């Protein structure tokens, strides 16, 4: 029997089909994970870890990749942008399709697509074939991320079990980014850049082999018509927005195409809001966005992801360009950060259980902002130790924010709307990762002194996070309920 997806958060439950023998999931209130539940969690977390790894594992390999395939320095950005466009642009659409037609089914399709695309990128013979592989990887990720999160939240009942599951998932998500930076450098130096893509292909095959017999199927009991106008406007708007900001990260905001796509993206998102207010079966329920937990939870998520990605970007510049550290030494700094994040992930669910997800979110943002400000103590000639300690502690609070904002947004949402809620969570995550560097990181590289530019960015970054902590705290209200 498949793991029961029934929860107590809504009167209507998802439809569940049998996928194989095994024990049922623990009942709500039982804090123990059964052996089968642990395997399900492993599969879902492995898939999320794989996608997170893909975001960073290729970064340090770009110079070697460019020389091998003949990609110019200016064209290397497309190795990142080709993945970011579909992975961010199609999240909401695939999250809703999974709600309607089966989350497990879409999850398996996404894994197969991601693995095939990774193989194409591994065997790429010219820039076009490589970029095609990267784009298909991004499309696969856009399927895996929201369906994987929906399967997690519908499999594990709201309460301690879900807190624990999302805590583990958030820890591995953070570790995926960090490990990718270290692993990418080691694999590129020893095995070549193609090994980074081959690793992703092998991981996808392993997860795909385990998933069919473990994961339960779930979907909404009825199948309303897909909101095609909403899908077109939100997907087009997100694609244009991500393209413009990714281009700005490389060339600044001076290009006509950057401003043109930025304005087009914003116009399409406004049109999306209008469409959703008038359609009978919206892709995103506007009343859902009016819930304080969903609106302010996503604000917190957007800030924590965008500002921490900016910190990592400017610290990489500072450690290598200002202090002269090698890529390997820089990777070790972020390796310490990864260990600290893993440590934070082990006790974050207990903190959330004690203080509630909302309070933990606000407190985590405050901690992230304060320790980002502590990075201003680094010097022009020394500061690696200060940077290591401060960014590691800031990342611990960052991980607390990741876990608590995911719980804040998805708690109390009916199973039939979990795809919508988790689609918003993952879209916030992807957009946050994308917009931070072009909005702030460019300040570090355009000033006369890189060190002064880094300090300017860190100061603004800390101020934004601290301001967000205050606003999110006020927005969520001072309720004592642990939710």
Q: What is the pLDDT of residues 334-368, one digit of tens each?
A: 778 878 887 887 777 788 888 888 899 999 999 99
pLDDT score at 9: 32
Please, is 29 exposed, middle or buried when counting C-beta atoms within 10 Å of its C-beta (0-12, 13-18, 19+)? Answer: exposed
Instruction: Summarize pLDDT for 290-328 with one digit per residue, the tens.
Output: 788 888 888 999 999 889 888 887 887 788 778 888 767
**Strands 217-219, 15-17: parallel, antiparallel or unpaired by DSSP?**
antiparallel
Distance of alpha carbon 429 from the chain centroid: 4
C-alpha 322/C-alpha 12 separation (Å) is: 58
C-alpha 150/C-alpha 421 separation (Å) is: 8
Is the predicted pLDDT of residue 282 greater than 80, yes or no? no
Phi-psi region of 20 (alpha: psi -120 to 50; beta: other; left: phi over 0): left
Is the predicted pLDDT of residue 400 greater than 80, yes or no? yes
Instruction: Summarize pLDDT for 71-85 with one digit per residue, the tens.
Output: 765 566 677 778 877
What's the average model confidence in pLDDT over 371-378?
94
Instruction: Summarize pLDDT for 99-137 with one digit per residue, the tens.
Output: 777 888 889 999 999 999 999 999 998 888 999 999 999
- Angle 366-368-372 (CA atoms, 0-180°, nearest 5)? 120
Instruction: Summarize pLDDT for 418-427 with one digit per residue, the tens.
Output: 666 766 777 7
Say whether 217 sits in a helix, a strand or coil. strand
Which among 483, 415, 421 is positioned nearest to 11, based on CA atoms?
415
Enumerate helices (H) and strands (E) in the chain, giving the number of each. Answer: 18, 2
265 vs 52, which has greater pLDDT?
265
Residue 219 phi/psi, 5-degree rounding, is -160, 170
C-alpha 47/C-alpha 61 separation (Å) is: 22
89 vs 42, which has greater pLDDT?
42
Highest mean pLDDT among 165-179, 197-211, 271-285: 197-211
> In which element (H, E) is residue 21 found?
none
Phi-psi region of 260 (alpha: psi -120 to 50; beta: other; left: phi over 0): alpha
Please, is 76 exposed, middle or buried when counting C-beta atoms within 10 Å of its C-beta (0-12, 13-18, 19+)? Answer: middle
Say whether 219 sits in a helix, a strand or coil. strand
What's the average model confidence in pLDDT over 385-404?
91
Identify the weakest region by mean pLDDT among 142-146, 336-340, 388-392, 479-483.
479-483
Please, is 357 exposed, middle or buried when counting C-beta atoms within 10 Å of its C-beta (0-12, 13-18, 19+)? Answer: buried
pLDDT score at 32: 66
pLDDT score at 462: 95
pLDDT bracket for residue 19 (50, 70, 90): very low
pLDDT score at 375: 95
pLDDT score at 84: 75
Average pLDDT, the chain: 78
Instruction: Summarize pLDDT for 424-453 with one digit per residue, the tens.
Output: 777 777 777 767 776 776 677 667 788 888
pLDDT score at 415: 63
Distance of alpha carbon 463 from the chain centroid: 23
Identify the weakest region by mean pLDDT among 68-72, 246-250, 255-259, 321-325.
246-250
Please, is 196 exposed, middle or buried when counting C-beta atoms within 10 Å of its C-beta (0-12, 13-18, 19+)? Answer: buried
Residue 407 phi/psi, 5-degree rounding, is -70, -40
Cα Rg, the chain, nearest whole Å = 21
Highest mean pLDDT among 25-29, 148-152, 158-162, 169-173: 148-152
345 and 171 Cβ atoms separated by less than 8 Å = yes
In this structure, the number of other CB atoms found within 10 A of the CB of residue 344 comes to 25
What's the average model confidence in pLDDT over 137-150?
86
Residue 30 phi/psi, 5-degree rounding, is -85, 120
pLDDT score at 2: 30
Is the predicted pLDDT of residue 165 greater than 90, yes or no? no
């Amino acid at each position: 029997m498949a793991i029961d997806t029934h929860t107590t958060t809504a009167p209507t439950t998802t439809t569940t089909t049998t996928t194989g023998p095994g024990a049922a999931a623990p009942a709500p209130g039982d804090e123990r994970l059964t052996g089968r539940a642990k395997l399900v969690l492993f599969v879902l977390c492995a898939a999320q870890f794989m996608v997170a790894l893909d975001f960073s594992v290729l970064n340090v390999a770009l110079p070697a990749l460019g020389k091998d395939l003949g990609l110019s320095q200016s064209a290397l950005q497309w190795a990142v942008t080709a993945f970011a466009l579909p992975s961010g642009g199609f999240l909401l659409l695939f999250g809703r399709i999974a709600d309607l037609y089966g989350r497990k089914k879409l999850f398996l399709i996404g894994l197969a697509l991601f693995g095939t695309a990774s193989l194409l990128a591994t065997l790429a013979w010219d820039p076009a074939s490589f970029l095609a592989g990267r784009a298909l990887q991004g499309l696969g990720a856009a399927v895996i991320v929201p369906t994987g999160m929906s399967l997690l939240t519908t499999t594990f009942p709201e309460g301690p079990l879900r807190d624990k599951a999302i805590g583990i998932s958030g820890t591995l998500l953070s570790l995926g980014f960090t490990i990718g930076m270290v692993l990418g450098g080691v694999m590129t130096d020893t095995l070549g850049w193609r090994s980074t893509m081959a690793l992703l292909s092998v991981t996808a095959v392993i997860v795909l082999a385990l998933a069919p017999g473990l994961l339960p199927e779930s979907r909404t009991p009825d199948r309303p018509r897909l909101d095609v106008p909403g899908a077109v406007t939100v997907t087009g708007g997100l694609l244009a927005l991500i393209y413009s900001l990714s281009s700005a990260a490389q060339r600044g905001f001076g290009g006509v195409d950057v401003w043109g796509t930025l304005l087009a993206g914003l116009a399409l998102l406004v049109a999306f809001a209008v469409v959703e207010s008038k359609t009978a079966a919206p892709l995103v329920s506007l009343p859902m966005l009016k819930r304080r937990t969903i609106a302010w939870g996503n604000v917190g998520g957007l800030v924590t992801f965008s500002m921490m990605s900016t910190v990592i970007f400017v610290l990489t510049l500072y450690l290598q360009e200002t202090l002269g550290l090698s890529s390997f030494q820089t990777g070790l700094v972020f390796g310490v950060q990864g260990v600290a994040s893993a440590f934070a992930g082990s006790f974050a669910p207990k903190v959330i259980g004690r203080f509630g997800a909302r309070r933990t979110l606000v407190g985590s943002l405050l901690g992230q902002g304060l320790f980002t400000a502590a990075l201003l103590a680094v010097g022009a000639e020394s500061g690696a130790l200060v940077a290591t300690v401060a960014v590691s502690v800031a990342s611990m609070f960052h991980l607390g924010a990741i876990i608590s904002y995911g719980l804040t947004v998805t708690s109390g949402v009916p199973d039939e709307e979990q795809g919508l809620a988790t689609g918003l969570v993952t879209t916030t995550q992807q957009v946050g990762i994308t917009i931070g560097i072009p909005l702030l990181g460019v300040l570090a590289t355009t000033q006369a002194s890189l060190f002064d530019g880094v300090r300017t960015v860190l100061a603004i970054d800390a101020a934004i996070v601290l301001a967000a902590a205050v606003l999110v705290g006020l927005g969520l209200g001072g309720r004592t309920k642990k939710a």
